[in-house]
Structure 1
């Protein structure tokens, strides 16, 4: 008997699937079934999954060289154009495209040399690359703005029309990022975990890049993958370094990971500052993960250790500031506005200060952690910047809660202190710099005030060396003088507070300091940033870059419908000045944002750096 085989529906489906598989690269031969717009390969948007406004035009299996990219601007917009060195073409397997507009059909012009079988051909092409809208993780609060960056360009001189500014802002703590603190040993700053908002804006106010961290990189529910992203720097090789929580990292502008490392186990709680030094080492502002105090109590400390790690992540040295400085100097701590102790913003405490009795009770207790106080295990130093000086193998730190910028040598001895002389122990008194005028004559100072327009810095941020103007004898320094507790007191009215961007000249032999430039005092309270902010010298344009990052936050608190104190919203200012000038060449305001730092970014160094 002959059996007639009838194919079932399942068998037919399997047959069709097998045929499709063969057609897509099985027995019928390998193919690449993707859309190809030009003479090489396919376009991959967001190639490394964390930078959605980047793309790679793949090389298509060819060797390509000598590429140039131009992102065609919107009408009246800012052009981004750059050469790509051959190392970047190999690294990304194609032409890296940076600076796309979000939610837009971008026109991208490229030119390149294509090499195949020894034949070289030159091409000029235009690609259309569609992007998605900017996405930002929300925390559920009705007070959180959905706009990624609301930018208002006030003025930009022609000289600065090509600027791109990296904006390192913060968004309110999401509840899922606030569920863990250190408890073995007690203390630390782990609860300090605002969400990230990091993007690059052009001088027309358009977002041209942003960081969308995935769970491999950032997980707010993980102790070891959460924390505030801070301390961004771009090196001469174009790569970005920064840190967050228990990590420090290096990535390129395309989102490619160079490394993402845990802090060495001896340290915890990175925030604020990471300096990539000239010798290839990293100076990381962290804390001691486990310190046995003199009273035998074990604590996580708070923002008072600088760890030096080499390029392989080994901790090769450390600066334990509770051993180097005086962690019980309380003159500044007692005059801080408790409504804004860095990013611990509490409008209900605005204008309140700590008394000597408050500090004595605190020290007698086992209350440790990210609180303004004295002694290891509390926020007595609050170091917010570190900068390595290769001229004498030392570091310069900014200590907010000592209102001082301090230079410390490799021997862990203080070289000089730029700050009010009030309250320093005898061993440090001769280290306090003497203010002088332009002719080097000492200025008269009394009661924390000096004549001649000179002022110390108060609860400042970013004590950074101007490397190109500094030698072993004379050091130029940029500082953002926030101004809280100015003169070691709170003013009669909160709207009397102001901030300044300042440049100082330090004669390290004569132990003197001259104030050579300032801006901000005349802007008054509207420009006052009680916390965060930046002043930075830029070699490429011989300019001073300023980010008044929490301007507006120092206004008197209002009240919500329930009668509770409500902090004023901030409106940071990006500003840039020609060297020596006090009229801004750039003024850009960001509305309703919590700023930390901002700085110019070089596309040229990112994609056409000099290969050693």
Structure 2
């Protein structure tokens, strides 16, 4: 009896499996969806490309759909996200792309669309309920990491009406982990790979809610030399998609997580970090280094943060700017006054307040010390270029060189056009390229005996000052015309006046805008913010200032504000508290301020869902 029952059960099970398999594969009736469908289209797929967990696609169910609109119903007192979907996006994703879901929440999503079937168009409105999981990112295991991922976000100044619909793309990263440091053990002179941090990439609304984040697991591996590094240089291109780089790669994805390309750097270059600029000509400008340079002394080195390579849309190298051949890699005046506790990515609390001497620099040559260390000459971090901006108007590039305290414009002919920076220590061939500071009436401004201490040097209002260890030097195309151009920058403020102050707490950072007359070779400071905030808003490294044409505004991100150390021991007393601020053009009153406590920030900027999905 038992055998008979067993045989019957087995036969029934086989029949069930066979029937289910037939339905799943298709069979005579064609493909079949054998799970719940909420509405009048097809299946719901959350995180469709395994990269963006707070996105979804409502599949088209075999219908031709068009004219779609999506609205994420906000939480109480929350921010609405509503956008039209371009018909091309409906076809690309095989349905309606949904962006901006709240994590760990049953989201109500209203969709309106036109469905075509049997020669007839039908316009429908539906509401879908979509649950998403809590935010998850890999962790280091340190107890101090509890609650620092996305939990402590404070809207300090609520958005004015002009900015209430803003979404802010945030490029942060976590501290090093045991996983990530192991990959560099056999690479002691590591460049970008030495800075091997888990990414923390997300989008905030103006209420401080996370509405999108990148799950890097499918495209990033801390243990792999060619799939790790710091994810940096994120930018939303004019086509709405995202580009960025990390270590030995650069990539392009859409906001739904669909890969467009993810490539290794061209073989002659290594160590991407900081900046990837897209140009109107369709090419990309990457801040990299030379994979193998024969120095004049016969030594072979890998250079550090001092090459710009231009590639076309297919990854073919078009041109490069080898800055050790264009500038003076042995100008060491700035290197001697840098705070060695905060050399951009290398934040070493034990070196806080320390500077390098002439003897220290000489020992590097004597001991053949090369790699991502502050020092003069190719093979060391003498330039530390942290942004590149292609000026298509005259086919030149504008770079920010942190370790030269200078913003520099260089032509396609590899000749320096101008230098916005203090005049200390430049060779004769560059002195004629230095911009002269002037006031609003065109009168020359005196900056002291050596030219390093301008009227705006002290912590007070007014006057003019240069930038010091600055980041993100960007031309403001919309305000510029001909030889008169505007340039924005984040003036970090370390080594201000070519010295370290008596107390670290005397330091401050600024967001600043300059007006440059390229014909007269003059520069005027037209806007600044940050002096009044003092040390609390001071960011020793990273950060951003950038003009936003859609709202005629200035966006700034003081990315490591609030980083403090125990002066006696040098030990960090906590992670920084980055600040997002956006200003109406000309105003010094923030139209919004968002503070993130306990976070390592790099850059942040306004993200456009319309550009991403509506075009």
**Fold in common (TM above 0.5):** yes
Does residue 557 (structure 1) correspond to residue 598 (structure 2)? The answer is no
Structure 1 segments, 4+ long, off by >6 Å, are 182-185
Match of 2:81 in 1: 80
Judge which range, 101-110 or 190-199, deviates more. 190-199
Match of 2:524 in 1: 514
- Structure 1 residues 26 and 602 mapped into 2: Cα distance closer, same or farther (>3 Å)? closer
* Deviation by residue 1:249-281 (Cα, 9 ceiling, x = unmatched): 111111111111111011111000000011110
Match of 1:542 in 2: 552
1:265-414 alignment, distance < 5 Å: 265-414=267-416
The secondary structure found in structure 1 opposite 2:194 is coil
Match of 2:609 in 1: 603
Q: Distance in 2 between matches of 1:428 and 1:23?
A: 75
Match of 1:580 in 2: 586
Match of 2:207 in 1: 204
The offset of 1:504, in angstroms, is 0.3
Contact 1:558 1:567 in 2 (8 A): no
Contact 1:196 1:229 in 2 (8 A): yes
Match of 2:474 in 1: 464
Q: Distance in 1 between matches of 2:8 and 2:160?
A: 74
The offset of 1:471, in angstroms, is 2.6
The offset of 1:301, in angstroms, is 1.0
Unaligned runs of 5+ in 1: none
Contact 2:230 2:246 in 1 (8 A): yes
1:148-227 alignment, distance < 5 Å: 148-149=149-150, 150-155=152-157, 156-181=159-184, 188-215=191-218, 217-227=219-229
Q: Distance in 2 between matches of 1:427 and 1:103?
A: 60
The secondary structure found in structure 2 opposite 1:541 is coil
- Structure 1 residues 44 and 558 mapped into 2: Cα distance closer, same or farther (>3 Å)? farther
Match of 2:104 in 1: 103
Contact 1:339 1:345 in 2 (8 A): yes
Q: Distance in 2 between matches of 1:104 and 1:185?
A: 45
Contact 1:185 1:299 in 2 (8 A): no
The secondary structure found in structure 1 opposite 2:193 is coil
The offset of 1:556, in angstroms, is 4.1
Contact 1:187 1:377 in 2 (8 A): no
* Deviation by residue 1:111-161 (Cα, 9 ceiling, x = unmatched): 000001211101000000010000111012222234422210011111100
Q: Distance in 2 between matches of 1:194 and 1:347?
A: 18
Contact 1:138 1:146 in 2 (8 A): no
Match of 2:508 in 1: 498
- Structure 1 residues 128 and 362 mapped into 2: Cα distance closer, same or farther (>3 Å)? same
Match of 1:90 in 2: 91
Match of 1:450 in 2: 454
* Deviation by residue 1:196-249 (Cα, 9 ceiling, x = unmatched): 00000000010000000123x111111111111111111221111111111111
Q: Distance in 2 between matches of 1:230 and 1:538?
A: 20
Q: CA RMSD, aligned part only?
A: 1.8
Q: Distance in 1 between matches of 2:62 and 2:11?
A: 38
Q: Distance in 2 between matches of 1:425 and 1:119?
A: 75
The secondary structure found in structure 1 opposite 2:546 is strand
Contact 1:55 1:96 in 2 (8 A): yes
1:25-44 alignment, distance < 5 Å: 25=25, 27=27, 29-30=29-30, 31-44=32-45
Aligned residues: 601
Q: Distance in 2 between matches of 1:430 and 1:410?
A: 19
The secondary structure found in structure 1 opposite 2:217 is coil
Q: Distance in 1 between matches of 2:590 and 2:129?
A: 37
Does residue 477 (structure 1) correspond to residue 481 (structure 2)? The answer is no
Q: Distance in 2 between matches of 1:175 and 1:331?
A: 37
The offset of 1:557, in angstroms, is 2.4
